Structure 1
């Protein structure tokens, strides 16, 4: 048996003996097993959590976002469930909260909070930067309506974290292609710089040259985050160099940011680039 399953059900049906269950399978959660020697994916852990609840819980939080198509959810992310259980095993977060029938959908056979309810919970429970990064990724995967999320805030005005949710929703931008791009955008906005436009196309007579991470088209200034792929992949590095020259030739000033940069230095470089092009606070 390669899939995640309930041990008691497998033994009761005769598919496995108790000896076979214990010898050839590993326990993921109480009474939840899978064949030994396989890496645990987020999907496996999500199914395991649902089975642990005896198929009664609803999947929520980051795991629900991943089922809706959001990227950047790691395999070891805690699995959140809506269910009534005060002592969940390690790796699970169980919330006993009101959940309307119209706030649950099914994805790949699993009960999952709807897109709006998933966003409602992410925006309430996570710290500001992480909440916005998760919501950026969710809205990038599937169009997210702030109005639908705010309707839930009206439905549950006393729910924990509603004020935080109202603060983060206007900052969500589906143009963020990674959590680091979200971080960079918020760093600049929080420093008092104007909110940048994301995913700016740069074209010449032959077509599209580049899609800039974020920038200010009126001043032709952009900020780009270069992840490890830009340095570790030679083909990508060569293309980035050619692309940078083409973009500069079109009149753009591009501030490139890497993980090792100090935030204060990034802010200064972007501010100087903007002021050199005529921006004034």
Structure 2
């Protein structure tokens, strides 16, 4: 080393700051870091004055906990962010964290947050991951009231599929709610179904219902003589018609042969199957017409009851 050369030191990283988010001003006030050290590469900024060690993975859940626990104490995690805290992935890492403040609190504008002011009943709030969050039922109703179009039904279906909310109870609550978004909430809950297994299946089901087609049974299990044949995405058992959504997984190695075998079993059991792709959802008129033709083609016959569940 040359005489007088500056020695490069690693940035200060106090161990108590490496386990989770912290307020930068608090760390500096306690002498754990200087302002210059806080700006080093060892730390990443989550929100204004909220930091995290660079080695810790950033998730939407972590950002929601940091926002409600450090940035806006007293705020309640709500909407899609609350769903994430309950294990339902409705928001991505970089999506705005959704919070609710009491009506008397001053409005807040912070990058990365979506803050509303509303009164929340005490039994609609529960501790989750160390911060207050709306309960699963209150979260589902909130999503039904405020999300647009089919996105609302998709979100509510995802909450219902978690098993944390009863559809009958949710519909009863939607029927009683008043105020902004109440009519939308009732319409969304009327379309919701906990048996849906993917967002695209929900969108497909809602499209067919809004077109006036008979209500299909999601995730119907076809059996013949007690023997399992297949489980189909949407079914009209009395007509033995099924609609199947083809996702990307059907392109996996060996899947094509398995799909063919499955289709053969369904056809041998007297079922007619309409396959739908993502591209078909962008041509709703053609898709509805195709399903309508399939239902009409078999409605003229009088099949016996289709075994299934």
Question: TM-score normalized by structure 2?
Answer: 0.81
Matches within 5 A, 1:54-93: 54-83=72-101, 84-93=105-114
Cα distance 1:175–1:71, how it changes in 2: closer, same or farther (>3 A)?
farther
Question: Hey, what's the Cα distance between the residues in 1 that align with 2:43 and 2:284?
Answer: 47
Bigger drift between 26-35 and 6-15 goes to 6-15
Question: Hey, what's the Cα distance between the residues in 1 that align with 2:125 and 2:171?
Answer: 14
Instruction: Using the TM superposition, give the Cα deviation of residue 152 of structure 1 relative to its aligned residue in structure 2, in angstroms.
Output: 6.8
Question: Hey, what's the Cα distance between the residues in 2 that align with 1:279 and 1:135?
Answer: 36
Bigger drift between 66-75 and 77-86 goes to 66-75
2:247 corresponds to 1:254:
no
Instruction: Verify the 8 A CA contact 1:224 1:256 in the aligned structure 2.
Output: yes
Instruction: Verify the 8 A CA contact 1:50 1:57 in the aligned structure 2.
Output: yes
Q: What's 2:161 paired with?
A: 140
Provide the secondary structure at the position in 1 that maps to 2:279. coil
Provide the secondary structure at the position in 1 that maps to 2:242. strand
Q: What's 1:50 paired with?
A: 68
Instruction: Verify the 8 A CA contact 1:219 1:277 in the aligned structure 2.
Output: yes
Q: What's 1:27 paired with?
A: 45
Provide the secondary structure at the position in 2 that maps to 1:69. coil
Which structure would you say has the larger Rg?
2
Bigger drift between 9-18 and 206-215 goes to 9-18
Provide the secondary structure at the position in 2 that maps to 1:251. coil
Cα distance 1:235–1:12, how it changes in 2: closer, same or farther (>3 A)?
farther
Q: Deviations over 1:6-31 (max 9, x none)?
A: 22333344544433322011111111
Instruction: Using the TM superposition, give the Cα deviation of residue 39 of structure 1 relative to its aligned residue in structure 2, in angstroms.
Output: 5.5
Instruction: Verify the 8 A CA contact 1:46 1:79 in the aligned structure 2.
Output: yes
CA RMSD between the two structures? 2.4
Matches within 5 A, 1:1-281: 1-23=18-40, 24-36=42-54, 40-83=58-101, 84-142=105-163, 143-148=165-170, 150-151=172-173, 154=176, 157-158=178-179, 160-204=180-224, 207-231=227-251, 233-261=252-280, 262-278=283-299
Q: Unpaired segments of 5 or more residues in structure 1?
A: none
Q: Unpaired segments of 5 or more residues in structure 2?
A: 1-17, 302-309
Provide the secondary structure at the position in 2 that maps to 1:26. strand
Q: Deviations over 1:155-213 (max 9, x none)?
A: x522x211111121111101111111111001111111111110101234684332211
Alignment length (residue pairs): 277
Instruction: Using the TM superposition, give the Cα deviation of residue 42 of structure 1 relative to its aligned residue in structure 2, in angstroms.
Output: 1.5
Q: What's 2:14 paired with?
A: none
Provide the secondary structure at the position in 2 that maps to 1:234. coil
Cα distance 1:186–1:45, how it changes in 2: closer, same or farther (>3 A)?
same
Question: TM-score normalized by structure 1?
Answer: 0.89
Instruction: Verify the 8 A CA contact 1:123 1:135 in the aligned structure 2.
Output: yes
